[in-house]
Chains A and B, each alone.
Chain A
Amino acid sequence: MPSNDRTDVIIVGGGIVGAAIARELAKYDLNVLLLERHPDLAMETTKANSAILHAGFDASPGSLKALLNVRGNELFRQLQADLGLELKLTGSLVVATSAAEMDAIGELYSRGGENGVPGLKILSREQVLDIEPNLTEQTLGALHAPTAGIISPFGAALAFAENAALNGVKIIRECPVTAIAVTDGRIAGVHTPHGFIAARFVVNAAGVGADTVSRLAGDDSFRIKPRKGEYLLFDKKASCLVKTVVFPTPTKVSKGILVSPTVHGNMFVGPNALDCRDADDVDTSAAGLAEIVAGAEKLVPGIPVGASITQFAGLRAVADGGDFIIGPSPAVGGLVHAAGIQSPGLTAAPAIAERVAAVLRDLGLEMKPNRRFNPVNPPRVLFSELDAAARQALIRENPLYGRVICRCETITEGEIVAAIHSVCGARTVDGVKRRTRAGMGRCQGGFCGPRVTAILARELSLPVTAVRKDTVGSYLFFDKIPRLCEVDSR
């Protein structure tokens, strides 16, 4: 449990928003604690979304979404080098296939201008097809946004968290908040299965659970409606049909089903949009997968469905007001919400963090700069991207870099061990996957999964049967249990 030091701020939730806030607060001389209920960070909305760095032309001018999207996009580009973010500025296209849609992208263009999005252009059919020759024949034109890009969302969350931890933020995983103590209308601390933690401020960054956390403190001011989106991811070897993020012209409820490359060189399609009751319902369905393929086919015909390597669903945390909810609780002193963070929440996250820091300052939190703050994460070894001399030197220093564990992505045992022992390191098989890509390839861990399990067991001094896939109870293997025998063996 945390030290006896007074805790200034407890951040509830270790997704991209909580992690970005943790890193922002690490810039100040504060005692900050981040609590995550799962065995790893980035396990909910952050791990299953469109992984897009949005330019910022979608949201209504003046909304928090619009403001923080554009600012977040700028911050991400600034932070890329320091944090070692996997980010590519591919640009995005909103494709119009009818006169009405051409009008709509014209509106997006003006809206983007009002929101302060740089570099927007309306492209002609020829210009669009020149960039993306695999688009539908029906293409009439597109809105091009050069500042849009693609990013590894869980990679970004882990990078923020790592930097926060290196700069003194304590991160405790498998630590759900079970109750919030309020005294005289002010936050007193939080209860967890590991004990009570006193704190002056609680930042609610609990994603689809943000309304539940708010109610724990007695604040019933908003509701989160989870809205599910399903995705299909394709093998790298299947030709990636697009180079940029390709959106259809949006409707009122959704940006639509898009086709995009990932930072790791795969292609994906999705999401659809389904309101659901459960905040943990991430089941995919045959109908949903058919829907996203059909939607993607309208934009980019010839989606190679047979080359899909996995499908998944994520939940958007949609607040009843529609916009982000960022600011002090109207009911409880010391409670600050960063809630309702649906799209473009990933892009906005570092800007949300700045805003939360400003709110805390306004609420009277003394924020002296942390003189020892180091904004730079240590470099991560990526064996597959090194030249021969560097590989050779690395293996001589640590032979584990000479053993390839994930064949599809060429990930070595050295990288996996480093991911386990890094700050806020991997504890689960999927945690290793999110940090190293081991198991993300076409065999989806069929070969390396058991080996990663064994490495986790060895490095964490656990029995193999105690190693988990992802969630708290997701144990992978059972021991063979000896039975009674009627005779003695030799």
Chain B
Amino acid sequence: MNKQEEKRRISCIVCPLSCVGEVSIADGKITGMAGFSCPRGQDYAREEVTAPKRTLTSTVRISGGRLPLLPVVSRQPLPKDKIMACAGCLSTVAVSAPVREGDVIVADILGLGVDVVASRDMTAREEPPGGMMG
């Protein structure tokens, strides 16, 4: 056995079967897979090991809206290891109402080529910003 070989357990999330398989890696390359019962699971495991991605959802501050926060979502999945950095970035962002669902809130976040967009409409309101009592 290759001394460099590493085994990683991966819980597959593709279907309700939830196979838990093992991926063997040596010199940064996948050398083997066991425990996944279908090709989709193997594809998932391959991506999880090589380039895992996650959709990011969070909130940004919004002024003049019915609520003080606007929920946002990354339009495509982001590299998993950049998720915390992107969340940190979003926590400093503030926009103004009105906003429509799908409006770009942060374009090309951290230069990763992915836009973060509003996930709901937020109409402006004339009274002072709502918060909990609305």
A binds B: yes
Answer yes or no: A450 CB below 8 A from chain B CBs: yes
Contact pattern, A 470-482, Cβ under 8 Å of B = 1, otherwise 0: 0000000000111
Check if A480 sits within 8 Å of B91, measured CB to CB. yes
Contact pattern, B 83-97, Cβ under 8 Å of A = 1, otherwise 0: 001001101111100
Chain A: minimal CB distance from B117 (Å): 12
Contact pattern, A 422-464, Cβ under 8 Å of B = 1, otherwise 0: 0000000000000000000000000000110111001000001
Chain B residues with Cβ below 8 Å from A455 are 133
Check if B85 sits within 8 Å of A482, measured CB to CB. no
Considering the complex, give the chain A residue whose CB is closest to the CB of B68: A480
Given contacts A489-B89, A489-B105, A489-B106, 9 further A-B contacts (CB under 8 A): A450-B132, A454-B131, A455-B133, A464-B132, A485-B88, A485-B92, A485-B93, A489-B92, A490-B105
Check if B92 sits within 8 Å of A484, measured CB to CB. yes
Considering the complex, give the chain A residue whose CB is closest to the CB of B87: A483
A489-B106, A490-B106, A490-B107 are contacts. A483–B92 as well, Cβ < 8 Å?
Answer: yes
The B-contacting residues of A in range 50-99, CB under 8 angstroms, are none
Chain B residues with Cβ below 8 Å from A483 are 88, 91-92
A451-B132, A454-B132 are contacts. A487–B111 as well, Cβ < 8 Å?
Answer: yes
Q: In whole angstroms, what is the CA distance A458 to B94 when docked?
A: 23
Q: How many residues of B contact A (CB 8 A)?
A: 19
A451-B132, A458-B133 are contacts. A489–B93 as well, Cβ < 8 Å?
Answer: yes
Check if A453 sits within 8 Å of B88, measured CB to CB. no
Q: How many residues of A contact B (CB 8 A)?
A: 18
Chain B residues with Cβ below 8 Å from A451 are 132-133
Check if B91 sits within 8 Å of A487, measured CB to CB. no
Q: In whole angstroms, what is the CA distance A480 to B131 when docked?
A: 14
A-B contact pairs, 10 of them (CB 8 A): A413-B133, A455-B133, A464-B131, A482-B91, A484-B92, A485-B88, A485-B93, A489-B106, A490-B105, A490-B106
Check if A482 sits within 8 Å of B107, measured CB to CB. no
Considering the complex, give the chain A residue whose CB is closest to the CB of B94: A489
Check if B92 sits within 8 Å of A482, measured CB to CB. yes
Answer yes or no: A486 CB below 8 A from chain B CBs: yes
Answer yes or no: B110 CB below 8 A from chain A CBs: yes
The A-contacting residues of B in range 79-134, CB under 8 angstroms, are 85, 88-89, 91-95, 104-107, 109-111, 131-133
Chain B residues with Cβ below 8 Å from A480 are 91
Chain B residues with Cβ below 8 Å from A450 are 132
Chain A residues with Cβ below 8 Å from B104 are 490
Q: In whole angstroms, what is the CA distance A413 to B132 when docked?
A: 13
Q: In whole angstroms, what is the CA distance A482 to B105 when docked?
A: 16
Q: In whole angstroms, what is the CA distance A70 to B131 when docked?
A: 52
Query: B92, B104, B110, B131: which has the most chain A beta carbons within 10 Å?
Result: B92
Chain A residues with Cβ below 8 Å from B133 are 413, 451, 454-455, 458
Query: B89, B95, B107, B111: which has the most chain A beta carbons within 10 Å?
Result: B89
Considering the complex, give the chain A residue whose CB is closest to the CB of B131: A454
Q: Report, nearest first, the 10 A-B pairs whose CB atoms are least far apart.
A: A454-B132, A485-B89, A489-B93, A485-B92, A483-B88, A482-B92, A489-B106, A482-B91, A454-B133, A483-B91
A453-B132, A454-B132, A455-B133 are contacts. A486–B110 as well, Cβ < 8 Å?
Answer: yes
A454-B131, A489-B93, A490-B95 are contacts. A484–B88 as well, Cβ < 8 Å?
Answer: yes
Check if A487 sits within 8 Å of B131, measured CB to CB. no
A451-B133, A454-B132 are contacts. A486–B89 as well, Cβ < 8 Å?
Answer: yes
Chain A residues with Cβ below 8 Å from B94 are 489
Query: A451, A464, A486: which has the most chain B beta carbons within 10 Å?
Result: A486
Chain A: minimal CB distance from B98 (Å): 15
Chain B: minimal CB distance from A349 (Å): 37
Q: In whole angstroms, what is the CA distance A483 to B111 when docked?
A: 18
Chain B: minimal CB distance from A407 (Å): 15
Q: In whole angstroms, what is the CA distance A488 to B133 when docked?
A: 32
